[in-house]
Structure 1
Amino acid sequence: MTAAKTSAPLSTMARAAIFICLAIAVTGCASTKRDNDNLTTGSIPKVSSAPLDGMNAVELAATEKAVGGAYIRDPKNRDVGMRYATVLGMTGKHAQALAVMQQVAIAHPTDRSVLAAYGKAQAGAGQLEQALATIGRAQTPDHPDWRLISAEGAVLDQLGRADEARQKYRMALQTQPNEPSIMSNLGMSYVLSGDLKTAETYMRDAAKQPAADSRVRQNLALVIGLQGRFSEAEQIARQELSQSQADANVTYLRSMMSQQNTWQKLAANDKARSATN
């Protein structure tokens, strides 16, 4: 089954799953502190360069205000603009994030990092075809960047082009073997098409990698929770989240599944797929 052929209930589930992942990031459930994360690259005057993934909603709001002020003072500053757009995207202000990145891209039209961030902002704002073109311009065929290849896959998945998306993820894995973020994206591709068992396999492999971060493990918890195995999902979530954060995420997941009756439909879908194979 491909994402383009996904039934209405599965499409609803997939969108909800994405929103849960975004909610996890905004509430500060991830604890990644990678020094080479492009969210923290560069010198940002008078603005904290602390990793954004570890911030809660209050911290993100304060960062948005501070970085927004710096952006107003110097709208052509590459690093300030990229960080501001990232914060805006994390707080759901995708149209504004896109507007910021448009200005940054005008000031830095050949900067690969800027083009990649611009493509991400376009995808966040729903401009998926434009995002593919922008990411393509950022890529260098003689020395391809696996992050951009994986980003192409994520956009293709959103367009319902699952087979092409998975080809991109596998290409990225050839360049960067066992990279957990790529494996997690590949797993999410199968979530979007309703194949949760295959998704869980990739997520578990991703979570076992030494470089796996909290976001990867929370995606694993998500996939397990979507199959109705809430106690197992909670156990994974509580290994890294505070009691209140884990409770909030699990409560939201249970509420969504109860309203949509989605995980039962997914389980039936998996059984039907197994019976025909």
Structure 2
Amino acid sequence: MPHVRSVTLAAILCLTGLTGCQSLSDTAIDGQPAIESGYAPQAYAGDPKARSGKAHLDAGEYGLAEQSFRAAVEATPRDGAAWVGLAASYDRLGRFDLADRAYREAIKLQGETVTILNNQGYSYMLRGDVKTARAKFEKARRLDPENQVVLNNLELLYAGQQYFRGEAP
């Protein structure tokens, strides 16, 4: 039943048009603020592999994003942003075991930032683990109560819970 719920939640996310992850920081490569739900964008300094990974992730080319981010972390293992991008790529490929490992590496390097907590919450939401997703989003919200991406993800999570309980319109 959990698999059916995660597939159903993924379908809800797609239908709402609010998917996209908080890949890494609070500012996209082009300097625009993140306002959508999902993964938050993050700046990738001068690393062309990570920038390529971000472009592939934005284009929905998750396999290519994973390859680019993996090359980036192999070349620069202390690049926390690249680890978060790699984790987001793994999430989109359904490789949650590898995503969890990448998030752990990012946390070792950057700590539990709003971005990482949000992305982990989104990862758990994709899996259908509402309880863990909520805990991650709430922790991110405590760190940044005005973060619109986190707030949107909490709203999306709530809508998914209503759906599972048969309360959705």
- Verify same fold: TM over 0.5: yes
- Number of the residue aligned with 1:16: 12
The separation in 2 between residues aligned to 1:212 and 1:177, in whole angstroms, is 20
Query: How many percent of aligned residue pairs carry the same amino acid?
Result: 26
The separation in 1 between residues aligned to 2:28 and 2:106, in whole angstroms, is 18
Given that 2:86 and 2:99 are in contact with CA atoms closer than 8 Å, whether structure 1 keeps it comes out as: yes
Instruction: After TM superposition, give the deviation of residue 215 of structure 1 in Å.
Output: 0.8
- Match 2:62 to one of 116, 128, 133: 128
1:264 paired with 2:156, answer: no
Given that 1:169 and 1:183 are in contact with CA atoms closer than 8 Å, whether structure 2 keeps it comes out as: no
Distance 1:131 1:145, change over 3 A: same
Counterpart amino acid of residue 21 in structure 1: L
> What are the superposed Cα offsets for residues 153-194 of structure 1, whole Å, 9 maximum, x if unpaired?
111111111111112112211211120111111111111111
Q: For 1:217-236, what aligned pairs fall within 5 Å after superposition?
A: 217-228=151-162
Counterpart amino acid of residue 11 in structure 1: V
Distance 1:126 1:221, change over 3 A: closer
Tell me the matched-pair count. 153
- Number of the residue aligned with 2:102: 168
The separation in 2 between residues aligned to 1:182 and 1:214, in whole angstroms, is 15
The separation in 1 between residues aligned to 2:72 and 2:150, in whole angstroms, is 25
Instruction: After TM superposition, give the deviation of residue 200 of structure 1 in Å.
Output: 0.3
The separation in 2 between residues aligned to 1:142 and 1:173, in whole angstroms, is 16
Instruction: After TM superposition, give the deviation of residue 211 of structure 1 in Å.
Output: 8.1
Instruction: After TM superposition, give the deviation of residue 221 of structure 1 in Å.
Output: 2.1
The separation in 1 between residues aligned to 2:146 and 2:50, in whole angstroms, is 22
Q: Which has the larger radius of gyration?
A: 1
Q: Secondary structure at the match of 1:227?
A: helix
- Number of the residue aligned with 1:6: 3
Structure 2 residues not aligned, in runs of 5+: 21-25, 37-45
> What are the superposed Cα offsets for residues 102-136 of structure 1, whole Å, 9 maximum, x if unpaired?
xxxxxxxxx51x43232123234443222111112
Q: TM-score, normalised by structure 2?
A: 0.73
The separation in 1 between residues aligned to 2:160 and 2:35, in whole angstroms, is 24
- Match 1:115 to one of 32, 44, 49: 49
Distance 1:143 1:210, change over 3 A: same
Given that 1:131 and 1:155 are in contact with CA atoms closer than 8 Å, whether structure 2 keeps it comes out as: yes
The separation in 1 between residues aligned to 2:78 and 2:53, in whole angstroms, is 16
Q: For 1:30-69, what aligned pairs fall within 5 Å after superposition?
A: 37-40=28-31, 51=32, 53=34
The separation in 2 between residues aligned to 1:212 and 1:125, in whole angstroms, is 27
The separation in 2 between residues aligned to 1:182 and 1:158, in whole angstroms, is 15
Structure 1 residues not aligned, in runs of 5+: 24-33, 41-50, 56-110, 229-261, 266-277
The separation in 1 between residues aligned to 2:78 and 2:111, in whole angstroms, is 14
**Larger % of helix: which?**
1
Flag the structure with more relative contact order, 1 or 2, with Cα contacts below 8 A and sequence separation at least 6. Answer: 2
Instruction: After TM superposition, give the deviation of residue 222 of structure 1 in Å.
Output: 1.7
Counterpart amino acid of residue 263 in structure 1: F
Counterpart amino acid of residue 170 in structure 1: R
Given that 1:179 and 1:211 are in contact with CA atoms closer than 8 Å, whether structure 2 keeps it comes out as: no
Counterpart amino acid of residue 13 in structure 1: L
